[in-house]
Amino acid sequence: MKSRSEQLFARARERIPAGVNSPVRAFGAVGGSPPFFERASGAWLWDADGRRYIDYVGSWGPMVAGHTHPAVVEAVQAAASRALSFGAPTEAEVELAEAICRLVPSVEQLRLVSSGTEATMTAIRLARGHTGRSLIAKFEGCYHGHADSLLVKAGSGALTFGNPSSAGVPAEVASLTLVLNFNDLPQVEKLFQEKGKQIACVIVEPVAGNMNLVLPKPGFLESLRENCSRYGAVLIFDEVMTGFRVALGGAQARYGIRPDLTTLGKVIGGGLPVGAVGGRREIMQKIAPLGPVYQAGTLSGNPVAVAAGLATLKLVEEKDFQARIEKTTQSLVDGLNSEAKKAKIEFSAQSIGSMFGLYFRALPPTTFAEVMQCDKERFNRFFHAMLARGIYFAPSAYEAGFVSAAHGAPEIEATLAAARASFASL
């Protein structure tokens, strides 16, 4: 007899393409049928069949305080009781903007939007409007949402114009995007020497989280900052994932690099749809209605989502919050490395802040090419072995994981016990 989740998945496929509203949820990368979830609390999820899981996806990042935190739920309920949406200014929008400007070093002004994709799309338009240039540069393996200019993969050779990575993206649009190798300093230097005066912006995840977790090499972010400054290009840090995860002020605070524009999402919505683009006042004042760069959104600054974000940021700001969650994440990574070593499995794991990466290779990767060398099939078997033991990791070998403040010693110990058995089964 099919489980309730399997029955729901069959129903979903009748009316929703592939049965899901975001591709990775379909379990296409790992095989099998996805659990359908009904509720969550703290570090735990419950599926439609009543099974309980320790969650290391955290809605792909925003649940840094844990699921259904009482302070966040109370704030959402209070806001919803007043109005679900105004389509007009509210004081809470101002408070959220003030909080982000205070916490994120480079942000002097910001515009709230409704998603990370909208934030990065707006940032690129702002960069082009500010510089009067057309070319943008991004890095293979970094994901910045599904705007046309960003769904571009590397061309056939170094420093070539990109190719569309999705049907529906015109080659003419992709031709304006240059794709480089993450952590390749000589390639960055060469790009700017050849095309520096044509480049409107460079957009990068300062810590990559969408090709699994890949840390920047020493000097890489500094080189981006130096070259963008020298050639008049706008440096955009996509901190949708890293914002308030790798440090209170994001990756830019941790690494001491000030981008010109920053995109945010996930944590600033506390689990509800919010994004933001912010940065230097000079650039931000190019946005409508002050300037010629147009952007608008009916639900931008939605009062319920803003309330969730404000409540979450207050928790994140609490004393020792970042240190405590980082320590928990490190204990998870250390334990997984230890269990794999005992089982003589070629495996490595690393973390930064409350983000972590799992790799079936001897050392953590530093490039997209090294990520692709990981043993994907072994990851898939490990994923399902852990899922069967009540541990919910991201259903893809190419996604980072997340720990919340609700994860504690009992959850880590249960995870490592499951890992011990799962590694043995491999």
pLDDT at 158: 43
Strand ranges (E), 265-381: 275-279, 348-352, 355-359
Tokens, residue 162: 């990109």
pLDDT at 171: 86
pLDDT tens sequence across 242-253 = 999 999 999 999
pLDDT tens sequence across 112-154 = 999 999 999 999 999 999 999 999 999 999 999 998 888 888 6
pTM of the shown model:
0.97
Kindly provide the b/e burial profile for residues 342-381, where b requires at least 16 CB atoms within 10 angstroms of the residue's own CB: ebebebbbbbbbbbbbbbbeeebbbbbebbeebbeebbbb
**Is 320 annotated in the active site?**
no
Strand ranges (E), 232-272: 234-238, 261-264
pLDDT at 164: 83
pLDDT at 109: 98
pLDDT at 174: 86
Partnered with residue 153 across adjacent β-strands are: 163
SS3 call for 137: strand
Q: Phi then psi for 417, rounded to 5 degrees?
A: -65, -40
Catalytic residue among 266, 359, 392, 398: 266
Which amino acid makes up residue 388?
A: A
**Is 238 annotated in the active site?**
yes
pLDDT band at 156 (very low <50, low <70, confident <90, very high): very low
Q: Which of 210, 214, 192 minimizes the C-alpha distance to 201? A: 192
Reported as type and span, the H/E element at residue 361 is: none
pLDDT at 159: 43
Cα–Cα distance between 393 and 399 in angstroms, integer? Answer: 9
pLDDT tens sequence across 354-411 = 999 999 999 999 999 999 999 999 999 999 999 999 999 999 999 999 999 999 999 9
| Section 27-46 average pLDDT | 96
Q: Which of 144, 46, 36, 42 minimizes the C-alpha distance to 403? A: 42
Question: Residue 37 pLDDT > 60, yes or no?
Answer: yes
Dihedral angle at the C-alpha atoms of 263, 210, 244, 299, nearest 10 degrees? 50
Contact assessment for residue 56 and residue 391, using Cβ atoms and an 8 Å cutoff: yes
Catalytic residue among 53, 143, 359, 392: 143
pLDDT tens sequence across 256-305 = 999 999 999 999 999 999 999 999 999 999 999 999 999 999 999 999 99
Cα–Cα distance between 250 and 252 in angstroms, integer? Answer: 5
Go through the domains of the chain in sequence order and give each one's CATH number: 4-68+319-425 (3.90.1150.10), 70-316 (3.40.640.10)
Strand order in the sheet with 199-204: 109-113, 275-279, 261-264, 234-238, 199-204, 135-139, 177-180
Catalytic residue among 47, 55, 238, 260: 238
**Is 266 annotated in the active site?**
yes
